[in-house]
Amino acid sequence: MQKVLGFLRKACQTYDLIENGDKIAVGLSGGKDSLTLLSTLKSYQRFADTKFELIAIAIDLSGGKNDYSEIISYCEKINVDLYIIPSNVFEIVFDIRKEKNPCSLCANLRRGLLNSNAKKLGCNKVALGHHKDDLVETFLLSLFFEGRLSTFKPKSYLSRVDITVIRPLIFCDEKEIIRVSEDMPVLFNNCPADKHTEREKAKNLIKNLDKIYPNCKEKIFNAIIHFERYNLFDKL
């Protein structure tokens, strides 16, 4: 956990992710990433120079069918208030819309509910569990499917809902999250599209590229975060 905490602290200091008086809602899916983020932010809260409040919001995508009992107990154990918001996102995406590529719509609906409920609960920031691998995968997906050099930012202000989204695990490798989350009550992923997405293909592609070009993922990550390394065409 100390290593992950070090990555989180570096991200917070590098990008000014947390400020005095913030009330932060962690988007808690129940997966390894969000549970690790919540636990690490709680640890950081104890010694950080900045003073902030912390809550957790879980968007139940299955209309209240998920069993959150272990997640509730875990949040009580680390003294974090948890708010579970029932939704019919799965029904909309898979039954009504019958999306062939459901991830984009699902993510938009889920984050819309997360942001709006965070605002209702008095939060000014939402923390998401995206890590280094997610950043590189998103970069490749944007390149392959949109023809853009783009990925998500460590910190983004959403003016429409007046919420700032932060990603404190941006420097953390997924393998470290897997290691520290072994004893956490990780929920089973009941999404019908799990392991059958374009993101999963991008993940496997990066693994294969790393075998051919050692440290390929790390080099792509560094190319993204170090602006001084950019060497693209200027506008003519």
Total residue length of the chain: 236
Q: pLDDT digit of tens for each residue in the chain (236 aa)?
A: 899 999 999 999 999 999 999 999 999 999 999 999 999 999 999 999 999 999 999 988 777 777 899 999 999 999 999 999 887 776 677 666 666 666 777 777 888 899 999 999 999 999 999 999 999 999 999 999 999 999 999 999 999 999 999 999 999 999 999 999 999 999 876 666 666 688 899 999 999 999 999 999 999 999 999 989 888 887 66
Q: Kindly report the pTM of this predicted structure.
A: 0.91
d(CA 73, CA 88): 24
Question: Helix, strand, or coil here: 109?
Answer: helix
d(CA 110, CA 174): 22
Which tokens in the block code for residue 208? Answer: 């294969």
For domain 2-229, which CATH number applies: 3.30.479.30, 3.40.50.620, 3.20.20.70, 3.40.50.300? 3.40.50.620
Which residue type occupies 123?
Answer: C
Residue 50 sits at the vertex; the CA angle it makes with 158 and 53, to the nearest 5 degrees, is 65
Residue spans per domain, the chain: 2-229
Question: Helix, strand, or coil here: 96?
Answer: helix
